[in-house]
């Protein structure tokens, strides 16, 4: 069977309720063609910062499943641009004080929360009580307890909860996932992953512990942890971790500058990771007993590249959020439950691991066992 046939078989096996997403022939950032002319989902972006307007909104605009029908912002000067461009109703333009009026916005089906991590829980729970489905950015929340409260609120109000794991819909990462799950290069016994960048503005929310929940681990290290989990397709059994040196005690007075960890899986696979706000690094490498594969860059907008012990990984370079929104559209239109891989359950699993990594680092590298 050829590589492309293996690819198609893998996607078919995953099914519509899992990570399945058709790979269309795209060039550069051209968008996939989807023959969908049914009901569009009305979506409101909560937080008109860079990510919401420059990453998520283009994905919404390019997808046939969605249309922007509302905004939530604390900056009145931003309103006119979006109101005019998208012909938004006055009643669908909200701020953080009157956010609960979502309950009256009948043509808003879903809210996409693009706020700092520390605000995800509150605005997810309030949206759920207003009867709206929710997509929240990763990490899902600052703590596992907040994640659990979010899941409970959505279940009680019978709305769906998804986490914006865009890499689950991105071709290079899906190919790495397939390699791991189909054992293309044998049993994976070692994983190494790193993701870091140099944090700029010292006043940015990422360096504020209350808003961020932590430093680079919460921001970009989570990609490394999540990727190891979706390539292995089993949950880790233990973690140990250490904080790196602090070179700027003023900038990093509330959150870590860097952090490294050692994770073990039940099959004795070892996963070593590193994340930093003072190093430009990005890699995912997995070694099996029959070869290896890696992505570098792995998680950013790169463009992503990959290679294996048998040659390059030949995948299309796509606009991540368009593929994410195209993948999530049918999931929200369906009456079925949200599949685990992008649900609140997935966010909670990551949160528990990140929490254990921090606990180990604070305890000087003590090995911490994870729930089975």
Supply the pLDDT for residue 22.
31
Chain centroid to CA 174: 14
Q: Which residues of 192-217 are buried (b: 16+ CB within 10 A; e: fewer)?
A: bbbbbbebeeeeeebbebebbbbbbb
Strand, coil or helix: what is 356?
Answer: helix
How open is the CA angle 96-97-99, to the nearest 5 degrees?
Answer: 60
Per-residue model confidence (pLDDT) at position 138? 98
Contact 199, 207 (CB under 8 A): yes
Reference 277, options 182, 363, 175, 194; nearest CA is: 194
Please, which residues have CB within 8 angstroms of residue 57's CB and are 6 or more apart in sequence? Answer: 45, 68
* pLDDT of the residue at 5: 57
The per-residue pLDDT string of the chain (372 residues; one tens digit each, 9 = 90 and over) reads 445 556 656 555 554 333 333 322 223 454 567 999 999 999 999 999 999 999 999 999 999 999 999 999 999 999 999 999 999 999 999 999 999 999 999 999 999 999 999 999 999 999 999 999 999 999 999 999 999 999 999 999 999 999 999 999 999 999 999 999 999 999 999 999 999 999 989 999 999 999 999 999 999 999 999 999 999 999 999 999 999 999 999 999 999 999 999 999 999 999 999 999 999 999 999 999 999 999 999 999 989 999 999 999 999 999 999 999 999 999 999 999 999 999 999 999 999 999 999 999 999 999 999 986
Q: Cα separation of 331 and 327, whole Å?
A: 7
Please give the Cα distance from 182 to 194 (Å, whole number).
Answer: 24
Asked if 305 and 175 touch (Cβ cutoff 8 Å), the reply is no
Domains, the chain: 3-166 (3.40.50.720), 182-317+342-369 (3.30.360.10)
The C-alpha atoms of residue 99 and residue 371 are separated, in whole angstroms, by 36
Helix (H, G, I), strand (E, B) or coil at 209: helix
Distances (CA, A) of 93 to 65, 115, 227, 325: 21, 16, 36, 22
Closest CA to 165 of 136, 198, 132: 136
Q: Classify the phi-psi angles of 365: left when phi > 0, otherwise alpha if psi is within -120 to 50, otherwise beta.
A: left
User: What are the strands, taking DSSP E only, across 102-237?
Assistant: 110-113, 133-136, 161-163, 188-198
The pTM (predicted TM-score) of the whole model is: 0.93
């Amino acid at each position: 069977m050829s590589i492309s046939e293996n690819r198609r078989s893998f996607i078919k096996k995953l099914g519509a309720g899992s990570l399945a997403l058709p790979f269309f022939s795209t060039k550069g950032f051209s968008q996939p063609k989807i023959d969908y002319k049914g009901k569009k989902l009305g979506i409101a972006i909560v937080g008109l910062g860079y990510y919401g307007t420059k990453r998520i909104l283009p994905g919404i605009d390019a997808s046939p499943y969605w249309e922007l029908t509302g905004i939530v912002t604390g900056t009145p000067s931003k309103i006119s641009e979006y109101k005019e461009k998208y012909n938004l109703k006055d009643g669908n333009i909200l701020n953080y004080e009157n956010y609960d009026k979502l309950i009256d916005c009948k043509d808003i089906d879903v809210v996409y929360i693009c706020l700092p991590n520390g605000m995800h829980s509150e605005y997810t729970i309030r949206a759920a009580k207003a009867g709206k489905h929710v997509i929240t950015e990763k990490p899902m929340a600052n703590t596992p307890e907040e994640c659990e409260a979010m899941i409970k609120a959505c279940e009680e109000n019978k709305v769906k909860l998804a986490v914006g794991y865009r890499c689950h819909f991105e071709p290079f990462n899906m190919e790495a996932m397939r390699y791991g799950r189909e054992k293309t290069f044998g049993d994976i016994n070692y994983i190494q992953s790193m993701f870091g960048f140099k944090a700029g503005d010292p006043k940015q929310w990422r360096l504020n512990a209350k808003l961020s929940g932590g430093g680079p681990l919460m921001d970009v290290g989570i990609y490394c942890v999540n990727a190891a989990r979706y390539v292995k397709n089993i949950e880790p059994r233990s973690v140990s971790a250490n904080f790196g040196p602090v070179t700027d005690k003023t900038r990093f007075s509330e959150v870590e500058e860097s952090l490294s960890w050692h994770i073990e899986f039940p099959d004795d696979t070892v996963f070593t990771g590193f994340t930093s706000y003072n190093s430009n690094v990005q890699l995912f490498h997995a070694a099996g007993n029959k070869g290896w594969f890696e992505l570098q860059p792995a998680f950013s907008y790169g463009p992503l590249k990959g290679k294996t012990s048998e040659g390059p990984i030949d995948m299309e370079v796509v606009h991540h959020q368009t593929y994410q929104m195209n993948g999530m559209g049918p999931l929200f239109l369906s009456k079925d439950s949200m599949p685990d891989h992008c649900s609140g359950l997935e966010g909670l699993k990551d949160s528990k691991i990140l929490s254990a990594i921090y606990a180990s680092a604070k305890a000087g590298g003590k090995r911490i066992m994870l729930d089975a």
